[in-house]
Amino acid sequence: MKKVSYVLCIFSIIVFSIFSSEAFAQNLIPKPSEHNIFFMFVQVTLRNSDGDLVTYMESSKLHGVDKKIISDSLDHISSSVKIPIFELNDTKFQVFIIETATEFDSNTMYTNALYNVTIDEQTYSAARFTFDSYLTSPGDEVTAVWTIARFV
């Protein structure tokens, strides 16, 4: 009887492992959507006027994400710059790294990083990273590096 119990236990573990690993592997890469954006990440650094690092923040938790505007802006970028295409598990994608820098000329409170897109002289906010605010002084510079991946 003990042998049967051991065999059933081992068989159950093997069957569970096979089905759970298959389900896990299928969820690693998201399915392509209408606008093909599947990952966004932002890194924000603040340096003082001497170039010393004051603050570093990063997040993939963004607000107000407009995937259509972002997708259109990536189409525009890739029409003038050759962006490599990567392939993983028969899924092709591109990774865009977009850097913006702003130098402050007065004391101010900085509370978010915006991914803005300008179309026909109209600026649209396509994504926003909100964080605890910090004070800036004249000469301080903030750099936001946006990493965006999309299916092709």
The tokens describing 24, both together, are 């896990």
What is the number of structural domains in the chain? Answer: 2
- At residue 12, does pLDDT exceed 60? no
Q: Which domain holds residue 96?
A: 34-151
Give the pLDDT score at 112. Answer: 87
Residues 66 and 122 in one domain: yes
- At residue 13, does pLDDT exceed 70? no
Residues 9 and 77 in one domain: no
Least confident of 11-20, 77-86, 101-110: 11-20
Per-residue b or e along 72-108, where b marks 16 or more CB atoms closer than 10 Å to that residue's CB: bbbeeeeeeeeeeeeeeeeeebbebeeeeeeebeeee
For residues 44 and 102, the answer to whether their CB atoms sit within 8 Å is no
Burial of 28 (0-12, 13-18, 19+ CB in 10 A): exposed
Residues 106 and 69 in one domain: yes
Residues 73 and 143 in one domain: yes
Give the pLDDT score at 100. Answer: 92
Residues 69 and 123 in one domain: yes
Residues 59 and 128 in one domain: yes
Residues 26 and 86 in one domain: no
Residues 39 and 19 in one domain: no
Q: Please say whether the dihedral angle defined by the alpha carbons of residues 22, 28, 30 and 31, taken in this order, is positive or negative.
A: negative
Residues 55 and 90 in one domain: yes
pLDDT in tens, 121-140: 889 889 999 888 888 999 99
- At residue 78, does pLDDT exceed 60? yes
pLDDT in tens, 39-66: 899 999 999 999 999 999 998 888 889 9
Residues 2 and 46 in one domain: no
Residues 100 and 81 in one domain: yes
